Structure 1
Amino acid sequence: MAAFGHTFPFYAGPKPTFPTDTTLAVIVAIFLTSLVTFIIILPGIRGKMRLFWMLRVVTSLFIGAVILAVNFSSEWSVGQVSTNTSYKAFSSQWISANVGLQIGLGGVNITLTGTPVQQLNETIDYNEEFTWRLGENYAEEYANALEKGLPDPVLYLAEKFTPHSPCGLHGQYRLAGHYTSAMLWSWLSRVAFLCWLLANVMLSMPVLVYGGHMLLATGLFQLLGLLFFSTATSLTPPCPLRLGAATLHTHRGPAYWITLTTGLLCVLLGLAMVVAHRMQPHRLKAFFSQSVGEDPVLELNPEEGGLLSPRYRSITESPEPQDIPLSEASSEAPCEEPDCAL
């Protein structure tokens, strides 16, 4: 429509906005509700156990929330630049704006905010998402964005991630997101999240060493997911993203670094539990509010990795035999002689 004059493209209906993703909000709400519930019942725990329970529950909820949240986060690679750039197609007018790019495991999020927001008699404030998760067609979403007439900076960045773009960013980040999500959480491969669940179950049972092993595996799978993401995103040389006179550069985002921190935390906690199980098993049991008393017949053998193994009493440990006196009636033998009646 702009070909008939010097007006901007006409939008049929309200300006399209990025729909709010409630997934992260639901995840945070669930874990915060669990934490608040625990804080309510915390006064019922006495002594030092209250502090131990607090540390264990907060750490466990933090790890689980991170594993789920980063999978749906769009801040694995981020970049932002302030520039003067063209606004819409068939127009020679430029705007001053902040352009942001957030790349997640399932797609990209592009923001365009004018400085100031009100320019050219419009409110310049866009937040658009383009996804490549299973069941989503990125090329189709980009074609819909062209039909809507989104601003040039948004379309320019979105075009760089299309399957047929010479930059190759689509296959690069889609491959990285697929394998990283598989290591953290996906409907086909719940690896790190499953290890976290098993760790919580085993730490509530008298098999603490295996809970430490599962916690160690949780951290290793998170670090393995980061390795996949870093390797896949470095397969091709970086593609220049020029917006006006400025160039947008991307770097690792908060989701990447918080996953790295949580993975290292899980590895350190898992190793600490394995070492404590061999060096100070009684203190480890006390920290997890388990009885430190030993079973006289069946006990945990630290040398066998915590496996249950029978312990046989020696002769000196065996209780001495006790003489059980017979009752007076049973000690007297029945008399069948005639003299016994006398």
Structure 2
Amino acid sequence: MAAFGHTFPFYAGPKPTFPMDTTLAVIITIFLTALVTFIIILPGIRGKMRLFWLLRVVTSLFIGAVILAVNFSSEWSVGLVSTNTSYKASSSQWISADVGLQIGLRGVNITLTGTPVQQLHETINYNEEFTWQLGENYAEEYARALEKGLPDPVLYLAEKFTPNSPCGLHGQYRLAGHYTSAILWVAFLCWLLANVMLSMPVLVYGGHMLLATGIFQLLGLLFFSMATSLTPPCPLRLGTATLPTHRGPAFWITLTTGLLCVLLGLAMGVAHRMHPHRLKVFFNHSVGENPGLEWNPEEGGLLSPSYQSTAESPEPQDIPLSEASSKACCEEEHPSVPDHAL
């Protein structure tokens, strides 16, 4: 293969890469489609309820999209460095390149981009993924990468996350990924329940589930931080530079969304205690639909029947009757006395 395009042995060349993760692209497309659908039907809502409804829909879709997207994201811990490093084992030549590392809940993604891209008569632009999710064997994927003859920087970083590496990165990140992903799935289920309850006259329980959504997201972040700090950091030296890692966008956006859910859940609890009627108006729940039912905060926000005592009941009102009916009533109350009784 070295005779075709001056590529290294056992590897036909860089594979074409999509500009972004296809899973994230699908998730974003689904939620954007739902948002556009809701916006199309927005003109059919009257008055101020149109603004309230739009605010609820946008906030809810944003929270759900974030929970799903970060679960499949590879940017929980990221690092990027520009360095001069060796290119492949069969050559002593060095290249100038940007090396990137993205660590997610399901594996690592390693990028190698030459500066410039065309060096040594080759196009240096690699994007390789190594996963440790259930059903995948990281060691086998690393072995296949060795057979392909991937560049030295990619193999060096991938080797640091193998189960037999003395760095211990595989164990801590694999553990953190599995349990953090499970906690985020629980948060997603709480988000679904919150949407169902907020569409029913049980707003306080919807607020509780929204609060639980935020708490589970924060618990996932706490577990990820604790699990990834079990071992001391392992230096990643690439040629003349060291690759530093830090918390990525997925971590910080999950923190922001978790705090947002907690604040919204607490705000709904306070509004339920202080202004339950205004809360119902915001969620477009009519208070006066059934006169026999009224809002009872002590019952957790459920519509419960309330009965009035006899003392609180309004006085009976006289109902006018027709003339014939009046005469009949008078005859029943005062029966006529026969003439022979006089």
- What is the TM-score when the length of structure 2 is the normalising length? 0.89
1: distance between equivalents of 2:67 and 2:172?
22
1:9: how far off? Answer: 3.4
Name 1:245's counterpart in structure 2: 240
Matches within 5 A, 1:96-175: 96-175=96-175
Name 1:194's counterpart in structure 2: 189
1:10 maps to a residue whose letter is: P
Q: Percent identity?
A: 84
Matches within 5 A, 1:1-342: 9-16=8-15, 21-185=21-185, 191-293=186-288, 295-321=290-316, 327=325
2: distance between equivalents of 1:48 and 1:77?
43
Asked if structure 1 preserves the Cα contact closer than 8 Å seen for 2:77 and 2:246, the reply is yes
Name 1:188's counterpart in structure 2: none
Asked if structure 2 preserves the Cα contact closer than 8 Å seen for 1:192 and 1:218, the reply is yes
- What is the TM-score when the length of structure 1 is the normalising length? 0.89
Local SS of the residue matching 1:315: coil
* Greater Cα offset, 291-300 or 97-106: 291-300
Name 2:336's counterpart in structure 1: none
* Greater Cα offset, 68-77 or 9-18: 9-18
2: distance between equivalents of 1:60 and 1:8?
49
Asked if structure 2 preserves the Cα contact closer than 8 Å seen for 1:74 and 1:102, the reply is yes
Name 1:336's counterpart in structure 2: none
2: distance between equivalents of 1:220 and 1:114?
43
2: distance between equivalents of 1:149 and 1:241?
20
1: distance between equivalents of 2:55 and 2:213?
18
1: distance between equivalents of 2:193 and 2:328?
60
Aligned residue-pair number: 329
1:12: how far off? Answer: 4.9
1:14: how far off? Answer: 4.2
1:299: how far off? Answer: 3.0
1:295: how far off? Answer: 4.8
1:261: how far off? Answer: 0.2
2: distance between equivalents of 1:177 and 1:37?
34
Asked if structure 2 preserves the Cα contact closer than 8 Å seen for 1:8 and 1:91, the reply is no
1: distance between equivalents of 2:318 and 2:294?
30
Say if 1:300 and 1:13 are closer, same or farther in 2 by CA, change over 3 A.
Answer: same
Asked if structure 2 preserves the Cα contact closer than 8 Å seen for 1:18 and 1:129, the reply is no
1:312: how far off? Answer: 2.1
1:275: how far off? Answer: 0.3
1:126: how far off? Answer: 0.3
Local SS of the residue matching 1:143: helix
Local SS of the residue matching 1:228: helix
1: distance between equivalents of 2:304 and 2:55?
31
1:65 maps to a residue whose letter is: A
Unpaired runs of 5+ residues, structure 2, are: 333-338
Asked if structure 2 preserves the Cα contact closer than 8 Å seen for 1:296 and 1:311, the reply is no
Local SS of the residue matching 2:41: helix
Q: Which string of whole-angstrom CA distances, capped at 9 and with x for unpartnered residues, describes residues 22-81 of structure 1? A: 211111111000111111111111211111011100000000000000000000000000
Local SS of the residue matching 1:155: helix
